[in-house]
């Protein structure tokens, strides 16, 4: 091995070490900062309680504190930000933060974060893993179960703030909750999205606003497919956990006839191939029959020993639930039909989109 190659290898090893160290330092600094804001929030609440006989006392506390902290420490201590610190304490002092729910989703940061409790209050162990910007956004979600779900998923999937906002605005929690009973919805809020069977990966509808296709624009199935390939990273995020891209327009042949599957993925969690066909307009029973053929072929010709049965998803603009129900077997666990939307519905429209 040449000296130049040895130096290159040494550089790469040192670079990886330094990058990992930098990430750990950033995580530790971030965790300490959020916990510090939590403690500031606790102090503000306790001070307000001490002066509760005066209705405007809390406002005066925040205004005075903001002026003093800004003078001493600079930006970051506006009245609004202090109100967020207060809110952080009020929310997260009521239950153990989901940031410490599981060793599997924790970062390596070992920053201590035990709360200085009053005698009448229980001790709560906190490990804030997300950024302050994440928590500021999460605190605006009123429903506690929904807020916990997005916190868990942000940690598990390392969502940036932008991706967290996108998943919230596309109503991921609502879309997943619609296909679950009360126990399943409770699990979402306690554990996030747990993938154990094919149905767990299915959303209805899928929101593909990142493709940039206007809702009324006339486009072909091939154009839709090309846009998905162009934005494959975004599409994988919309599909969910464990998806890896395998092929587009995958050709299968038998009886001297050729067929093409639009998109082929593999889900590492389910250990299954996932076939996706794109359909413009209304779903037809022939579309489901075609997907059944693709799934059967993959199960018999492509699936390896130890892998689970292939999953097929037909993405369409519109569908009849009764048509799907009567076309597929009662015990169906492999073939699914879901709608897709190419624009992000408003909050007012979203319920109609789901129920439509």
Write out the DSSP string of 2-15.
Answer: -HHHHHHHHHHHHH
Name the residue among 79, 12, 251, 171 with its Cα closest to residue 87.
79
Q: What does the pLDDT look like over 299-317, one tens digit per residue?
A: 999 999 999 999 999 999 8
Q: What does the pLDDT look like over 50-92, one tens digit per residue?
A: 766 555 667 788 888 999 999 888 888 999 999 999 999 999 8
- Cβ-contact 314, 336 below 8 angstroms: yes
Q: How far apart are CA 204 and CA 336, in angstroms?
A: 10
Q: How far apart are CA 10 and CA 345, in angstroms?
A: 51
- Cβ-contact 348, 216 below 8 angstroms: no
Q: Which of 123-127, 156-160, 277-281, 344-348 has the lowest mean pLDDT?
A: 123-127
pLDDT-above-70 percentage for the chain: 83
Please give the average per-residue pLDDT across 228-244, as a whole number.
Answer: 93
Helix/strand/coil for 271: coil
Neighbours of 295 (CB within 10 A): 21
Q: How far apart are CA 327 and CA 308, in angstroms?
A: 23
Q: Provide the pLDDT for residue 311.
A: 97
- Cβ-contact 135, 34 below 8 angstroms: yes
Helix/strand/coil for 327: helix
pLDDT band at 346 (very low <50, low <70, confident <90, very high): low
- Cβ-contact 115, 123 below 8 angstroms: yes
- Cβ-contact 154, 130 below 8 angstroms: yes
**Phi, psi values for residue 249, rounded to 5°:** 45, 50
Domain 196-355 has CATH 3.40.1350.10: yes
Q: Provide the pLDDT for residue 272.
A: 96
Q: How far apart are CA 292 and CA 310, in angstroms?
A: 10
Query: Which tokens hold the place of 321?
Result: 């639930």
Q: What is the DSSP letter of 302?
A: I
Would you tell me the crossing angle of helices 144-157 and 161-169 to the nearest 10 degrees? 140
The H-or-E segment that residue 57 falls in is helix 57-73
**Phi, psi values for residue 263, rounded to 5°:** -140, 140
Q: What does the pLDDT look like over 95-110, one tens digit per residue?
A: 654 444 444 444 433 3
Q: What is the DSSP letter of 54?
A: S
Q: Provide the pLDDT for residue 109.
A: 35
Q: Provide the pLDDT for residue 3.
A: 58
End-to-end CA gap in the chain = 66
Q: Provide the pLDDT for residue 115.
A: 34
CA 3 to chain CA centroid, nearest Å: 46
The two beta strands, 335-341 and 206-207, are parallel
Whether 114 shows a pLDDT value over 50: the answer reads no
The two beta strands, 257-267 and 243-254, are antiparallel
Query: Which tokens hold the place of 151?
Result: 């916190």
Whether 235 shows a pLDDT value over 50: the answer reads yes
| Domains of the chain, residue spans | 3-140, 196-355
pLDDT band at 217 (very low <50, low <70, confident <90, very high): low
């Amino acid at each position: 091995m040449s000296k130049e190659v040895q130096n290159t290898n040494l550089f790469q090893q040192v670079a990886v070490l330094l990058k990992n160290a930098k990430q750990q330092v950033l995580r530790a600094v971030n965790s300490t900062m959020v916990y510090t804001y939590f403690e500031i929030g606790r102090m503000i609440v306790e001070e307000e309680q001490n002066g509760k006989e005066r209705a405007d006392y809390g406002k005066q506390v925040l205004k005075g504190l903001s002026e003093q902290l800004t003078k001493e420490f600079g930006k970051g201590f506006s009245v609004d930000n202090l109100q967020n610190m207060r809110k952080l304490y009020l929310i997260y002092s009521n239950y153990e933060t989901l940031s410490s729910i599981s060793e599997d989703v924790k970062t390596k940061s070992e920053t201590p974060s035990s709360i200085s409790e009053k005698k009448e209050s229980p001790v709560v162990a906190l490990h804030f893993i997300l950024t302050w910007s994440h928590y500021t956004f999460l605190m605006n979600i009123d429903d506690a179960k929904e807020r916990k779900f997005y916190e868990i998923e942000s940690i598990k999937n390392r969502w940036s703030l932008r991706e967290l906002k996108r998943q919230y605005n596309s109503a991921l929690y609502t879309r997943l909750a619609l296909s679950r009973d009360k126990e399943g919805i409770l699990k979402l809020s306690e554990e996030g999205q747990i993938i154990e069977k094919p149905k767990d990966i299915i959303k209805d509808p899928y929101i593909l606003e990142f493709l940039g296709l206007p809702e009324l624009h006339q486009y072909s199935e091939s154009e839709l497919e090309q846009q998905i390939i162009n934005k494959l990273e975004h599409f994988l995020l919309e599909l969910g956990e464990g998806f890896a891209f395998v092929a587009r327009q995958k050709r299968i042949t038998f009886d001297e006839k050729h067929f093409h599957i639009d998109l082929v993925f593999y889900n590492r969690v389910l250990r299954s191939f996932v076939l996706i066909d794109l359909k413009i307009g209304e779903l037809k029973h022939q579309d489901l029959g075609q997907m059944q053929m693709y799934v059967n072929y993959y199960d018999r010709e492509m699936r390896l020993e130890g892998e689970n049965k292939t999953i097929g998803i037909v993405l369409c603009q519109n569908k009849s639930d009764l048509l799907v129900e009567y076309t597929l077997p009662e015990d169906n666990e492999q073939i699914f039909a879901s709608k897709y939307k190419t624009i992000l519905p408003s909050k007012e429209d979203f319920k109609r989109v789901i129920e439509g």
